[in-house]
Structure 1
Amino acid sequence: MSQNGKIFNLIMTKATNQTEPLKIAIVGDVHDQWEAADEQALQHLGVDLVLFVGDFGNESIEIVRQIAAINIPKAVILGNHDCWYTASPWGRAKAPYDRSKENRVQQQLDLLGETHVGFAKLDLPQFQLSIVGSRPFSWGGGEWKNKDFYRDRYQVKNFAESTTRIVAAAQATAYDTVIMIGHNGPTGLGDLPEDMCGRDWQPLGGDHGDPDFTDAIEKIRMMGKSIPLVTFGHMHHRLRHRKDRVRTIINESPEGTIYLNSACVPRIKHTDNDSYRSFSLVHLQHHQVTQASLIWVDQTFKVISEEIIF
Structure 2
Amino acid sequence: MLETYGKGRGMTSKKTNSKTIKIAVVGDIHDQWEEEDSIALKELGVDLVLFVGDFGNEAVEIVKAIAELNIPKAAVMGNHDAWYTATEWGRKKCPYDRTKEDRVQQQLDLLGEAHVGYGKLDFPDFDLTVVGGRPFTWGGSQWKFTEICQNRYGVSSLEKSTERIISSVDNAAYETIIFLGHNGPSGLGDRPEDPCGKDWHPIGGDYGDPDLAEAISQTITRGKHIPLVTFGHMHHTLRHTKKEPRKRAFKSPEGIVYLNAASVPRIVEDRAQKLRNFSIVMLDNGSVSQASLVWVGKDNSIHSEEILYQNPQQQIVQLA
TM-score, with structure 1 as normaliser: 0.93
What letter is aligned with 1:232?
A: F
Quote the Cα distance in structure 2 between the aligned partners of 1:195 and 1:271.
Answer: 28
Quote the Cα distance in structure 1 between the aligned partners of 2:212 and 2:176.
Answer: 17
Q: Report what 1:198 is aligned to.
A: 197
Quote the Cα distance in structure 2 between the aligned partners of 1:204 and 1:16.
Answer: 43
**Gap runs ≥5 in structure 2:** 1-14, 310-320
Q: Secondary structure at the match of 1:150?
A: helix
Quote the Cα distance in structure 2 between the aligned partners of 1:147 and 1:44.
Answer: 41
What letter is aligned with 1:24?
A: I
Percent identity for Structure 1 against Structure 2: 58
Within 5 Å, give how 1:42-191 maps onto structure 2: 42-191=41-190
Q: Offset at 1:48?
A: 0.3
What letter is aligned with 2:40?
A: A
- Does structure 1 residue 241 correspond to structure 2 residue 259? no
Q: Any idea what the Cα deviations from partners look like across 1:49-71, whole Å, max 9, x if unmatched?
A: 00000000000000000000000
Q: Offset at 1:271?
A: 4.2
8 Å contact kept, 2:53–2:182: yes
Q: Offset at 1:16?
A: 7.7
Q: Offset at 1:299?
A: 2.1
Structure-2 change in CA distance of 1:203 and 1:16 (3 Å): closer
What letter is aligned with 1:18?
A: S
Q: Report what 1:259 is aligned to.
A: 258
Would you say how many aligned residue pairs link Structure 1 and Structure 2?
Answer: 295
Q: Any idea what the Cα deviations from partners look like across 1:97-126, whole Å, max 9, x if unmatched?
A: 000110001000000000000000000001
- Does structure 1 residue 280 correspond to structure 2 residue 279? yes
Q: Report what 1:232 is aligned to.
A: 231
Quote the Cα distance in structure 1 between the aligned partners of 2:298 and 2:36.
Answer: 8
Q: Report what 1:9 is aligned to.
A: none
What letter is aligned with 2:264?
A: V
Runs of 4+ more than 6 Å apart: none
Q: Offset at 1:272?
A: 5.7
Q: Any idea what the Cα deviations from partners look like across 1:155-188, whole Å, max 9, x if unmatched?
A: 1110000000000011001000000010000000
8 Å contact kept, 2:163–2:215: yes
8 Å contact kept, 2:180–2:231: yes
Q: Offset at 1:273?
A: 2.4
Cα RMSD, aligned residues only: 1.1
TM-score, with structure 2 as normaliser: 0.91
Q: Offset at 1:220?
A: 1.1
Q: Report what 2:315 is aligned to.
A: none
Quote the Cα distance in structure 1 between the aligned partners of 2:223 and 2:213.
Answer: 16
What letter is aligned with 2:255?
A: G
Q: Offset at 1:90?
A: 0.4
What letter is aligned with 1:26?
A: V
Q: Any idea what the Cα deviations from partners look like across 1:260-296, whole Å, max 9, x if unmatched?
A: 0000000001246211000000000111001111100
What letter is aligned with 2:130?
A: I
**Gap runs ≥5 in structure 1:** 1-14
Q: Report what 1:10 is aligned to.
A: none
Q: Offset at 1:18?
A: 3.3
8 Å contact kept, 2:128–2:176: yes
